[in-house]
Structure 1
Amino acid sequence: MGDSCCSGTVDIRAMEARQRRVLMIVLAINIATFVMMLSAAIYSGSSSLLSGSLDNLGDALTYLLSIAVIGASTRAKAKVALLKGLLILGAAIAVAVQIGWRLAHPEVPIFEAIGLAALLNLAFNGICLWLLTPYRHGDVNMASAWECSRNDVFEGIAVLLAAVGVWLFEAGWPDLLIAAALLVMFLRSAWRVLRSAWRSYKTGDA
């Protein structure tokens, strides 16, 4: 009986160590891609790139919070997941403000910079999603981290489409259109994470 308990404790600790290792890798990737995307957004004048960079910053904070509550109670994880949902909602608000500013100050962004940054971002986010996919049906902490990573892949594809649109039409509206689509995605994701976290909080242990 004692050996079984010890074995179970070791298995849990090993699982938590794997989760922590994965989250630290994706945290480092998101910090790097945030800096890259923000630099490219400023250089190119792209709203969709700026949206992506804000998303990566929010995700980096999300992964940092996820690392902090590994091994914590269900309710503690739910509280952090609620905060993650609020971070996603904050990114949506920032994107909405950026879209409004670009509508008032229209310009044609540099599609080469958008495309290159989007390709790099998509490649790295694909790695993050691959690392997190085994945990997508785990506790609310890891499931919400996977949700953020999946959003990043969709975002990367969308920003690539923005670059193609700007190149084809030589106008800024495709970039704004993609930014608006990302805004909708952020709002839907925030709702899913907040709903799941609230349910987990109500049914979780103290």
Structure 2
Amino acid sequence: MSDCGCEPPALETAAQKHALRIALALNAVMFVVELASGLRAGSTGLIADGLDMLSDAAVYAIALVAIGASSRFKANAALGSGIALFALGLGLLAEVARRFFAGAAPEGPWMIAVASIALVVNVIVLRLLATHRRGEVHLRAAWIFTRADVVANAAVIASGLAVLATGIGYFDLIVGAAIGLYVLREAVEIVSEVRQARRTV
């Protein structure tokens, strides 16, 4: 290691890797759970949240690879995360449009149960990454992704309660669209962070 002070201490790097590995494993599992449950329950919100879990797992994997790499590589990794998140947001909005014309009312209890599990998982991950959120840009990108997940989980739970109370499936579509728009906003924030970081490289 050089003496320039530009690399994080070994203990900090180990802590980052540990947090990201746990986050990666949890999100990979929840992607499978939420996608399968969303298809089972006919819920756009759950499918959207499941795909968001997949994108998060990819971001955590990229952040793991970026640890110890150059500042330019880390900025590029974060930029890739932002682009992936933007594409996901557009895909979610397209799925909402498709289900608006060809979908049935989702099952509220399934939505609430699975989204509640996902919320607990994402709160755990958010706490793991909290100590690193003011670090380098690739780690900030991972934290932003997770923060978006927590908001999305809460929205799906609210949607499930509304569907359960009224039997109206449009609540699920509204939440799916809101998650898509929120994901797009988070993608823009990540890209903005990358631009700021590149000015200092």
* TM-score (norm: length of structure 1): 0.92
1:150 aligns with 2:147: yes
Deviations 1:104-124 (A, max 9, x none): 113110111111100100011
Stretches of 4+ aligned residues off by more than 3 angstroms? 8-11
CA contact (8 A) 2:7 2:68 kept: no
**For 1:62 and 1:54, how far apart are their aligned partners in 2?**
12
Q: Which amino acid aligns with 1:93?
A: L
**For 1:16 and 1:67, how far apart are their aligned partners in 2?**
10
Aligned to 1:72: 69
CA contact (8 A) 1:75 1:200 kept: no
Match of 1:94 among 77, 91, 95: 91
Structure 2's unaligned 5+ residue stretches are none
**For 1:187 and 1:164, how far apart are their aligned partners in 2?**
25
Identity among equivalent pairs (%): 30
**For 1:86 and 1:181, how far apart are their aligned partners in 2?**
19
1:33 aligns with 2:42: no
1:85 aligns with 2:82: yes
Q: Which amino acid aligns with 1:41?
A: G
Structure 1's unaligned 5+ residue stretches are none
The structure with more radius of gyration: 1
1:199 deviates by: 2.5
Match of 2:9 among 7, 12, 33: 12
1:141 deviates by: 1.2
**For 1:65 and 1:191, how far apart are their aligned partners in 2?**
18
Aligned to 2:18: 21
* Residue correspondences, number: 199
Give the alignment's Cα RMSD to 1 decimal.
1.6
Aligned to 1:135: 132
1:176 aligns with 2:173: yes
1:9 deviates by: 9.7
**For 2:91 and 2:26, how far apart are their aligned partners in 1?**
22
1:11 deviates by: 6.6
